[in-house]
Amino acid sequence: MITLENIRFGYTSRKPLFEDLSLTLEGGHIYGLLGKNGAGKTTLLKNMAGLRFVKSGLCTSFGLDAKRRLPSMLERIYFLPEEIWLPDMKINTYVRTYAPAWPRFDHGYFKNCLKAFEIDPTARIKTMSFGQRKKTGIAFALATKADILMLDEPTNGLDIPSKTMFRKLVAEALDEDCCIILSTHQVRDLETLIDSVIVLNEANIVFNQTIDATCEKLRFSLSTSLEMPENVLYAEMTPRGYAVVNQNLTGEESKVDLETLFNLCIQQPETIHQLFNA
Amino acid sequence: MFSFKRFNTQFCILLGQNANRHSIALLVMVMYFVIIHFKFSPSLILTDRNPFDDFFMILTIGSIGFSLDVFKQLRSPIAGIYYQMTPATVFEKWLAALLYTTLFTLVVIFTTFLLVHTLIITGANLFSTVDYAYQFPNWALAWENLKMVLFFQSLFFLGAVIFKKSPFLKTILVVVGSVILFSIIMGLVIKHQFDVDSLSVSFGSDKGIQGFEVLEQFETLIKVLNVFSWILPFGCWGAAWYRLKTIQH
């Protein structure tokens, strides 16, 4: 669905944000795009959406050059920024005005999403809180029935029940033809939702694996011992003990701890590369 | 490929987005238009002057204001993302904005003014012994005036796409700066021309023919400026389209 081939991008010519970056995203997956502050998560999404033009390399969505921003591409992509913009009107008017731009927009589904998020469809947007506007934005994004959904920090500003509802709605929205990309710092919020992890660090992708493939190669555990465990790939102290990552040599399944995995990828990119590309 | 459906959606989006703000602007224009119908002498009576004399001036202000507004969303770093990601070609978005700020603005303002004028005159004729005549804009000068409206509209239409902050002030600064620069250059050219002229006179050339040549050059300049005033709106609209195509968020 999305192909990035050896792309190069930077806001200044001196310091490129991405150097020779390649990535392919397929339908039927919920990708978690992780990276430190300023690593370029939002920019990468913008490159994919054609909002920022790559300096060199190829960036296509559905085989179409992203920077051309053709309607045939835009009808199938929805990019939801971290900060929501909604015009000063009632939700009903907003949907009536904007929804016709997306040919597959599902009004019934939008209403259901609003109901699930406990948002009054007759409410005036200006009077809504940040969280309510965010939920309206998410509901609209899901109702466009876009094949590619790019959600930048979608859980920021949502309360706990809304985060649960968000996970439920996104999980329901996924099908074989749909690709959902979640760029986030709040890994705990989306841990159960993500099925593929992409880690962005120092101008390139340092990790791009499905959760299943990660489980096959790595074993995540919690050591209650007060001493630093030995022979581990990575260990970090938590209030409950050491969060440990070992190489999975026994084939034993464990629950992937995204935060620990992310830290391992950032601190030992070589180890990760050797382990997954051997 | 141009799609009328997508264009229509874009136009409706502009209409919906700006409905409140532009209705208020229209109301202010109408209030001004109503006021200029009357004079105090010392009681309130209808004025003799044609209220439509100011129509094109009001239309210019309206089209400038609306031009700055139609790209307000684009200029915001967040709202701009939504604008860019709305499924439509750049041409469809550009055409919707252009028609909104030109033809649509003209039709709406003119129709509203005409209705208000008709109401005022009809009302005055009902309650007065004087038979007031219905008036219209000066059609003989309409085309020239319309050209002036489009000239200014196109400048601010481009300014609204180029300048992210304070597009109105920045466009004015650019226009004033360009006029000053052009005036200085023209002043220097004219001065040089007169210098050459007086120099040739001192050599005993035919003064009458020399003077005639200078006059001819002025006429050519006026023609060039006239052509320029025709080309400029198209140039500005084209540049705005290109900017829309290449703008990044």
In angstroms, the Cα distances linking A154 to A15, A113, A265, B246 are: 28, 15, 23, 28
Give me the mean pLDDT over the A5-29 stretch: 94
The reply to whether A70 touches chain B by the CB within 8 Å rule is yes
Q: State phi, psi for A31 to the nearest 5 degrees.
A: -90, 135
Facing residue for A79 by CB, picked from B10, B13, B85:
B85
CB contact at 8 A, B150 and B143: no
Q: Would you say residue B240 has pLDDT above 70? A: yes
pLDDT tens-place string over residues A85-137: 999 999 999 999 999 999 999 999 999 999 999 999 999 999 999 999 999 99
DSSP-based three-state secondary structure for A194: coil
Instruction: Write the residue in B10, B17, B84 that is nearest to A69 by C-beta.
Output: B84
Q: Flag whether pLDDT at B203 surpasses 60.
A: no
Question: Is B6 in Cβ contact with A93 (below 8 Å)?
Answer: no
pLDDT at A223: 84
Residues of A in contact with B22 (CB under 8 A): none
Asked if A52's CB is within 8 angstroms of B87's CB, the reply is no
State the span(s) of chain A assigned CATH 3.40.50.300.
Answer: 2-201
pLDDT tens digits for B68-104? 999 999 999 999 999 999 999 999 999 999 999 999 9
At B212 the pLDDT is: 60
Q: pLDDT tens digits for B137-185? A: 988 899 999 999 999 999 999 999 999 999 999 999 999 999 999 999 9
More confident residue, A201 or B211: A201
Query: What's the predicted TM-score (pTM) here?
Result: 0.90
pLDDT in tens, A177-220: 999 999 998 898 898 999 999 999 999 999 999 999 999 999 99
ipTM beyond cut 0.90: yes
pLDDT grade for B198, boundaries at 50, 70 and 90 = low
Judge: A97–B76 Cβ closer than 8 Å, yes or no.
no
Q: Quick one: pLDDT at residue A229?
A: 67
pLDDT of residue A210: 95
User: Class of A2-201 per CATH?
Assistant: alpha beta
Residue A129 sits at the vertex; the CA angle it makes with A125 and A132, to the nearest 5 degrees, is 75
Interface of A with B in 96-125 (CB under 8 A): 97-98, 100-103
Whose structure tokens read 């949502």?
Answer: A158
Sign of CA dihedral B150, B152, B153, B157: positive
